[in-house]
Amino acid sequence: MKRQMLCILLILLCLLAGGCLPQGEPSASGGTPPVSHPAESGGTLPAEDGEEMRAVWLSYVELNRLLAVDTVEAVQAALDEVMDNCVSYGVNAVMFHVRANSDAYYASSLFGPAAAAAPWLDAGFDPLAYAVQAAHSRGLELHAWVNPYRVGAKEENKRCDDVFSRTVGDAPVWYYVPSSASVQKLILDGIRELLRYDIDGVQFDDYFYPTGLMSPQAEAFEAECTAADAQGVAEWRRCQVDALVASVCAVVHQKAGCVFGISPSYDLAKTRDSMYADVGRWMAQKGYVDYICPQLYVGFENTSAGFAEVLETWAAYPRDPSVKLYIGLALYKTGLGDDAYAGDGRKEWNENGDIMSRSVQAVRDNPACSGVMLYSYSFFDPDMARSGPYDREMARQEAQGLIAALKAGS
């Protein structure tokens, strides 16, 4: 009860601090149409229309490649090709990475432009606005994918002073302090800004508090924890994230037809205890998310976490009827020579050409699930380099089988 009351207070403070931004929808060539009036409730997911979700993530790394051309027309052609390919693959939604490291792939007054997007934004061309139009003209949904807390390797990307760093390798990686009122306001205002676009949803992925914070470098970060109650810092941290998630959900639901979801790691306990993201709570109680999409980036022969077993585990978790369950699949592993943490199944991706199609079918056969999301778009191409040595023929077989499986659900 104590935690619940604290979270409710934090949610109210987040919403009151958020302020208002114009609701007009930006166009690809600049300018803002007339103000639209937001609705009181959330949008409609594909599963609610009787259609399963078949989404693909389009990451900022992929966007950087798409934007590395010479003319606006070439950018448009590249985005058109992405959407055409998605239709041909049997995909019905694109998760477009709009903000990865406190930088924007759209026209923002709050965040600086991503380096790859800056020349086009300076020229008056908005990649997100064009992508929304290109997707919708082909019958695809487009959702804005956001990393809320990550600032990345460049401290200059920060948009308020409440940041901290942890060392990765030999270099610092910067994050916003989740408990900061300034950070919460920045994130909520950033969501309001995105809702000016005709997007179909907003998604956070698995980056919350970074793991490994109980280290010497965390001392300064813990300075603001003097308000932590007797439940301890871990529970206090979870409450900060709970409050932001509920506040974002409420803001997203102010736009008609818009939904909010989160794609966490498949390891629920690790997510709760190391990243302080209480995904179990968000699933079980209405008002946090419209869907959860755990990243089940494992094969069927993985010794410690086989796909079929992990899928059944997630299907059995308590879930409010309003919350859909989608499953994230590891398209990027197809053909991979060595899945280092898979135990006896470490060669599985190199020796089988049907893991993706079997995964889609397993999800489809589970009544608790409403669809899949694929990481990521580029790996439909068997010539796209993986994270290590891989078998192109296996990757080609996987792509062909996956496309056939996706089309079978369309």
Q: In the numeric block, which tokens belong to residue 89?
A: 């693959």
Per-residue model confidence as pLDDT tens digits over 176-213: 988 889 999 999 999 999 999 999 999 999 888 887 66
Residue 41 has pLDDT above 50, yes or no: no
Residue 25 has pLDDT above 80, yes or no: no
Q: In the numeric block, which tokens belong to residue 392?
A: 């192109």
Per-residue model confidence as pLDDT tens digits over 322-342: 999 999 999 999 999 999 999
The phi and psi torsions of 372 (rounded to 5 degrees) equal: -135, 160
Question: What average pLDDT does range 1-5 have in this prediction?
Answer: 54
Minimal CA–CA distance to 367: which of 409, 311, 410, 320? 311
Tell me the β-bridge partners of 393.
none
pLDDT of amino acid 40: 36
Distance CA 41, CA 326 (A): 21
Alpha helices in 69-126 (DSSP H): 72-89, 118-122
Q: Find out whether 375 and 57 touch, Cβ atoms under 8 Å.
A: yes
- The pLDDT > 90 percentage for the chain reads 75
Q: Which fold has domain 2-149+177-293?
A: TIM Barrel (3.20.20)
Per-residue model confidence as pLDDT tens digits over 338-370: 999 999 999 999 999 999 999 999 999 999 999
Per-residue model confidence as pLDDT tens digits over 223-277: 555 555 556 778 888 999 999 999 999 999 999 999 999 999 999 999 999 899 9
Neighbours of 180 (CB within 10 A): 17
Distance CA 81, CA 45 (A): 25
Domain ranges for the chain: 2-149+177-293
Residue 294 has pLDDT above 80, yes or no: yes
pTM here is 0.90
Q: In the numeric block, which tokens belong to residue 188?
A: 């909520």
